[in-house]
Structure 1
Amino acid sequence: MGEPVEDPLGNAHWVEAERLATHLDRILDRSAPHSAERAAAVADLAARLKRTPQTIRGYLLKYGPRRLVRDLLRDDSGRGPRLPPETEGIVKAILDQKHLTPEGCSLNEAMIVINGRLEQAGLKPVSFNTVKSRARALSRFGVSASAPRRKPDRRAWATATRRCQRKSTTSNDKLAWP
């Protein structure tokens, strides 16, 4: 008996949220929605807390329906993965087999195969942008086991560079200033 109850989070964020909740309670109790009185109260609170009126209105929207302090705290839980693990596995496997090989097929063809396999498995199809981003991630980090890492052909690169240099020297003569 008489022991202080600790804050649920035990930190400054909770204390700040409680203080904000008392201000918001005052606004919600003393003014009608969409009234000039509420607008003035929101503007006043925004000036005192050094926030914008839009931020205070956002706090009112979050806090108003249930009036719980925890509704004012930031949700840092993040969001879960966009695709289920089964879908990710199918996309990775098909990209590894079809697209990330030396003779590889186009991304569009890979997407058709991926969506066919997903349909067979009873999963939702994926968009082209999803396939494209997964292919970039796999090829960037070298995750593909079947696509061998090839060294760049230095002779072909040197020949192409020389051709570009020759073209640029001949074209510069024609474009000389008078």
Structure 2
Amino acid sequence: MSLVPPRPLRLALGSLALGLLFWPLAVPAEPNVVAVNVDQAKLVKLPARVATIVVGNPMIADVTLQPGGVVVVTGKGYGATNFIAMDRGGEILVDRLIQVEGPSEQLVTVYRGVERETYSCMPMCQRRMTLGDGDHYFGSVVQQAGALNGQASAAASGTTASKSN
């Protein structure tokens, strides 16, 4: 008499074990939680009669009402906050949590002592502004991005931007 279960039973038990192992990964997000990454936006459909949006902490997320009951949720800083959607009479239609997380792309983080620099490597590594980067690095990237945007705006309008020191 063999103590090994028949092959179909072993396959079924193995499949069940794998399913239980990966079950937490397959559970959908809480329907009342809007998960968004920093510097990214997500569209959320709300009832069409929404007239007012209140954001708990606008430093973490921005919520902008669009026509037809659609809101744009933009991640601005790490953490959690909420937003409340009300109709013209002040009745609360929706109260949802917003969870803002770090970027999901392929990042490389370089530490130089306590200073941090972040690079987006898709496929070549380029400098990236990320909350928590060192002041000098972050400021340098912001300044370069601003100069580039200024040049692009000037070129689009047909004028030239002058550099001032």
* TM-score range relative to shorter protein: under 0.3
**Normalized per residue, which structure has more strand?**
2
The alignment's TM-score, normalised by the length of structure 2, stands at: 0.22
The alignment's TM-score, normalised by the length of structure 1, stands at: 0.21
- Which of these two proteins has the greater Rg computed from alpha carbons? 1
